[in-house]
Each structure stands twice: as C-alpha cells, then as structure tokens.
Chains A and B, each alone.
Chain A
Amino acid sequence: MKKTTPAAKVGQNQGVQGKTKNLFGGLSKDLLLQIHELMVKSRILEERLIKIYRAGESFFWIGGPGEEAWGVPLGLLPRKGRGIEYDFFHLHYRCTPTMVALGMPMIEATRLMMNRSTDISTGGRNFSGHYCFPQWNVAPVTSPIEVQYPIACGTAHAQKRAKAKAISIVSGGDAGTAEGDFASCLVWASRRGQELPLLITVQNNRWGISTSYQGQHGEESIANRAKAFEIRARVVDGNDPIESYIAIREELDYIRRTGKPSFIEASVSRLYGHSSASGANFEKGDFDCVREFEMKLLKAGVLTDSRVKELWRQYEAEGVAAADQAR
C-alpha cells in the first residue's frame, strides 16, 4: 500500500501561480505557508531553549537554529509512523526543525532541556536536542557524533528484508564525516547487489566546534565521497527550503523506487555557534533562512505582515507557556 504524507499531498496541489511560480518551485501556497510556520516555530523554540539556559534553568544547550530550511522539509516528507513499514530517522543534535515538522510539541523539547523526569525522550537523563520518539521511528540521538550512520544501515537492512519500501534517513554534521563510522556507512550502504534503502544526509555548517571546514577537508564537497561508492549524491542549498524540499522529495522517491541509497549534502548556517559552551550568541553575519524565506514570501504576496506578526506572537507565547509548565 502506497503511503503519502499530508505534506506530500499538499505539495502535489497546484503551485503558486504567475511570475512567482519559479521562485517557489511550483509548491502550493498552503505548503509554503506550512513550511514557513514550522520554520518560525522551530526557531522560536530554539531561542526559548537558549533563554532557559541563560536564565540558569538548564545546564547545557545544543541545537539547530539556522538549519530550519533543511530540517523542516526533512520532517515533512517521509512516511511517519512506528515500525518497520515506516521510515526511520537517525538524527543528530541539531534536528529540532525536523522534530517540529514531525509534530513534536514545544513542551517536549522544553522538558528535555530542563531535564525533567517527564521528558519523554530521556526522562531527564540527557542534553537538549537528544530526542527519542519511537512512535515516529526516531532513534535516540547520541552525543558521540556520527555513530548514527552505521546504526542507520541496520534499520535499513531490516527494512530491506521486510520488503516494506520503507527508508532509513540519517543526518549528521560535516565535522563528523572525518570519523570512520561515516566511511563504514558508505561501505555498508553501497555493497553491490545488497544496496540499502538509506538517505544519507550531511548538514554542512562549515564548522566542527571551532575547527573550520577549510582547515579539515581536502575534498571539494563531502558528496563527492559518496560518489566514490557509486552512491547517487548531490549538494543542495540547505538555507533554501524550496530547494531542500524538492531535493529530499526526489531522493526519497528514488530510494523507494530503486531500493538504493542516496546522499544529500546540505549547506546550512550555524546561527548560534556550536552550543552554550561557545556562548550561544547570534552570528550576525550568517544567512538567516527563516527571515530570508519570510521576506521572500512577503515580497511575493504569499504571506502578509499580519500573519507574520501573529505567528511569531503565537509561538513566543507557546514557548513561554511550555517553560512555565516545565518549571
């Protein structure tokens, strides 16, 4: 039985018409508004978590503000559900946008941030961003980077055996690709005749804590390493939600059709630094995908000022209420 997500259905509707059509890749107005809303919600949530840290109500913050344009489509497009017939997510600790797009309420991220026993991901045991939602096949996020890559090969292997046309999706950062686990994933995913239904993604924010991408990588793009394993690979602008959405949709379709792996490297911003350990201060020079997408939608008349104000007000209030509730 073919399963489609609500977002995919919205995306199949008639796109934005007229001269703005090409700006938005033919995506429908409803979908554009949905993506924008989730990006705003995710940004406000992360900024609320940082405020909770600054108020001394949490020990540590790490998250993904700046990755909304990539992370939201990643949460909208897969088959969401529990069990081997649904897609598996092997995320890292900058994937709040994906979790918000999957449907995670703000209170869950807040409880995790404030290490409450009611935190459903870890029961107060682990840091922010370390989500675990078995009801949506979200595997536990780990602090060691990149270990999720070979683990994802395992769920993909089980999905292949079950012939469910389900996919495992793994995400991580550019710095972690220096680890052996990343190479192991490329090997296991691409064995000839035993290829795995795996969407391998790397969110390249060009930093590994304080190590720059330029100082660590000799390859032109990380995607080129996947090509060496005959894995279909591309680089996308992860600051553009339209490009991200279309690329993820195409690659999920390809994997479901062929059973073979695919690779996307997404260029993204790291808007608040590595974590609270580096201050969690806004990086003014970096591209802000939420504001830029918002401006684009406003300019095209897809979005109105009043809706923008209402969205930011509404989610600020939800964030404040979540913090109050978690206290």
Chain B
Amino acid sequence: MAMGIAMAGDRCVAEIQFCDYIFNTIDLLKIAGNTLWVTHGNYSLPMVVMTPVGSGIHGSVYHSHSFDAWASRLAGWKIVMPATPLDAYGLMLSAIEDPNPVLFLKPKALMRVRGDQLIPGEPSDEKTLKSMIDAPIGDRRQWVPRWPDLEAYHVPIGKGQITRKGDQVTVVSYGRMLLVCQEAADQLKTEGFSIEVVDLRSIYPYDWGLIRESVMKTGRVLFVNEDTEVTNFGEHLAYRVVQECFYHLLARPQVLAGQNVPGIGLHPNLEDASIPQKKDIENAIRALMAEVP
C-alpha cells in the first residue's frame, strides 16, 4: 500500500507494529529497495517504514528481536536507528523528505525515555507535555491531542556523532545499546579509562569517516548492538576496520552482540543472558585495553 502511495507521488509513513512481524513483507521490502535501480531510474519510492525494535520491555519471543543486521542487507534502503528523542525527530523529518525508502528502527524500550535535549518547541515541563498528548484513561472519545508547535529539525541520514570523547578505546553503537555503552564509558572513566563513544544513528549509509577517524586515534574498537551475533552488522564494520586501519590497530577489533538464539525468552534471566548488558560491555572494553600488540 505504502509503495503504491509513493509511486503515485504522495509520501507516507507506514508502521509495522513490531519488527518481529516484518518478515511478512519481505518480498515488498526487497522490491522497494530495488525499484529505483531496476527501473532504470523510472520510479523512486519516497516512503518511510517505521518499526519498534529490540528488547528491554520483557516482550517475549515476538516483541523483542532486533532487525538492524537484517536491515543492513536490504540494498536500496536507508536505515536509521536513533537513541534519543531529538535524533528520532530529526531523523524522521529527514526520512520523510528523502527520495528513497527509509526504514526507521525505533528502540521500543526508549519510547518513554526523556532525552537531555528538547525537540525545538517541546514544552520543558514533562507534565505539561503529558497533559497535551497523552490520552486519558477511560472514555477518550471526546479527547483530542494538543500537539505542541514544533519547529523543523533535521538530522542528516548517514551522519553519526561522538557522544563521549576519549582517546584509548572507540565504542560504536546505536539505539538502546548506545545508552548502555555511555553508562559503561562513564563508569570506566571513574577508573581512569578514556573511552570515545560513537552513536552511528544511521546504519546505512553509515558514517565510516567518523568511525575511521576515531579508530585511527584510539587503535582499539568495540562494536556493540543487540542483534544476534552471526552475520551481525558489527562484523561488517569490524572487517572494514581490519581492511582499512590494520596497521594502526593496537588490538583486534571486537563485536559484542546478542546471543545467536531463536528468540528472546520472557523470563528476565533469559533476556539478560541473550542481550549485552552493561557489565558485558565493561568487560569487553577492559579486555581490549589489556590486549598488547
């Protein structure tokens, strides 16, 4: 449906309520990605598909999985995955205006997490905002939201950012794991480690220049995400680091990802054992630092 709307010249944002259900549309995802190319430039498909991803809400087998590794193989799509509300807003506006299909992966566990930076026009008082846009409990037939008058704000697709500056280890992540990486970096900083954290924000195209510059500076890199570890997107980044930065490395590049299990189990022990935790990230960074060239 969204593809036809785009073909006709309109723009829309389609939603798949959880990425675990996106496989129903896999034919269409491939076609949407190849349409501009296979039609010799005759038809572009300016459309956005957004879908909640990842664990963190105890959502069991079909409300917890990730899609970033799968998504990175959908050639022809742009893939974004914000970690903050401001980036989510800025990436969404960029996605809507982009002439290509854009997959907007939103970490579901962050959907109620307030960011440090406000969206331009967002009320600074959280209670005020909630009173404007949160539907009341009970009969809501007469209720209408009062959307704040927001200003346009764009995050360019393909541009990452450094969220923690450091010079000993580079940690590259995105989405919910980015926040966990930041916590780990802050913790280790108290012990004297200097860790640079890169928020990729876009999975494709990804900001290789930012990664490369940081790795050339630190010589050590850890890629962290919660998708399953076999054929993980982080593996591609690690491979590229080896190819292009090999003689500047002080340690083997590492990937910390989710366990290669068929699903995320409901019990907290199962979920915690499947997904990288803060302690796992700290340990991986310590191991990187301990490696002697």
Contact = CB atoms under 8 A, between A and B. Distances in A.
Interface of A: 83-84, 88, 90, 119-123, 125-126, 132-134, 139-140, 142, 144, 147, 150-159, 161, 168, 180-181, 188
B40 A158 contact: no
A321 to B, nearest CB: 23
A63 B38 CA distance: 19
A249 B42 CA distance: 29
Contact of B4 (A133, A154, A180): A154
A166 to B, nearest CB: 9
Given A83-B9, A158-B10, A180-B24, A152 B4 contact: yes
Contact of B1 (A119, A140, A142, A157): A157
A119 B40 contact: yes
A140 B43 contact: yes
A154 B2 contact: yes
A155 B5 CA distance: 5
Contacts of B7: 88, 139, 151, 154-155
A84 B8 contact: yes
Interface in B52-74: none
Interface stretch (B27-35, B99-107, B197-205): B27-35
Please provide the 8 A-B residue pairs with the shortest distance between their CB atoms, ordered closest to farther: A154-B4, A158-B8, A123-B40, A154-B5, A155-B4, A151-B4, A155-B8, A154-B1
B4 A126 contact: no
Contacts of A126: 38
Contacts of B5: 154-155, 157-158
Contacts of B9: 83-84, 158
A151 B1 contact: yes
Contacts of B1: 150-151, 153-154, 157, 188
A159 B8 contact: yes
B173 to A, nearest CB: 35
Interface of B is mostly: helix
B39 A132 contact: yes
A306 to B, nearest CB: 41
B37 to A, nearest CB: 7
Nearest to A138: B42
B31 A134 contact: no
A297 to B, nearest CB: 37
Contacts of A180: 24
Given A144-B27, A144-B31, A150-B1, A120 B8 contact: no
Nearest to B36: A140
A253 B37 CA distance: 36
A263 to B, nearest CB: 18
A275 B27 CA distance: 22
A151 B40 contact: no
29 contacts: A88-B4, A88-B7, A88-B8, A121-B42, A123-B40, A125-B38, A132-B39, A132-B40, A132-B42, A133-B42, A134-B42, A139-B4, A140-B35, A140-B38, A144-B27, A150-B1, A152-B4, A153-B4, A154-B2, A154-B4, A155-B8, A156-B4, A157-B4, A157-B8, A158-B4, A158-B9, A158-B10, A161-B10, A181-B27
Contacts of B4: 88, 90, 139, 150-158, 168
Contacts of B27: 144, 147, 181
Nearest to A144: B27
Contacts of B41: 123
Nearest to B6: A154
A153 B7 CA distance: 11
Contacts of B275: none
A125 B39 CA distance: 8
B3 interface: yes
A244 to B, nearest CB: 25
Given A154-B1, A155-B5, A120 B40 contact: yes
Interface string B1-28: 1111111111000000000000010011
Contacts of A88: 4, 7-8
Nearest to B2: A154
Contacts of B24: 180
B3 A151 contact: yes
Contact of A122 (B3, B8, B40): B40
A125 B30 CA distance: 15
A88 to B, nearest CB: 7
Which of A122, A132, A150, A155: most chain B CB closer than 10 A?
Answer: A155
